[in-house]
Structure 1
Amino acid sequence: MTIEESKEYVGIWVTEDGNIRHELSPNNRYDEARGTRKSAYQGVYKVSGNHIDYKDDTGFTADGEFRNGILYHAGMVLYKEI
């Protein structure tokens, strides 16, 4: 089963040091916090299989991959907050 099928991508994903946090909402919007800066980036995302594509509200795009319950995105490793 892919993460798209399970919908387990919805929630908060955070780097090990807690500096970067991605909140993936069920309405396909995301909010990224960096350090003490809340809502540093916001935009939309789309999950296809185990792949995620991001497009922030300024038009910048990025992507990532979910593998074994971990989100790999732009050189970062994020873990789902429980």
Structure 2
Amino acid sequence: MDAATWSPIHSREWYAARDAVAGLRDVLIAAGLDSEFPYLRADLNAFGMGLIELGRISPHTAERLAELIRTGLNCAQEHENSSGPGGRTP
């Protein structure tokens, strides 16, 4: 495909951005936050780099999102601490 027929929707970067949005969307739905991100979308910038736009969110939604991230980080840390050398449970 040459530059004259290039379409951003057929680029690897577009599909990566779209897949990332789908994964994030699924997590937001599971957390009950799907209606809090009405502007969530995949996009490409002028250089063809994939981007994810979250849009504006309320302070309450930001607090809920921060708490979800904190909980995930704490779970990961607890899992790492409970694993012995090489990631094996002692």
Point out which structure has higher relative CO (alpha carbons under 8 A, 6+ apart). Answer: 1
TM-score, normalization: structure 2?
0.27
The structure in which a higher percent of residues are helix is 2
Flag the structure with larger Rg. 2
TM-score, normalised to structure 1, is 0.29
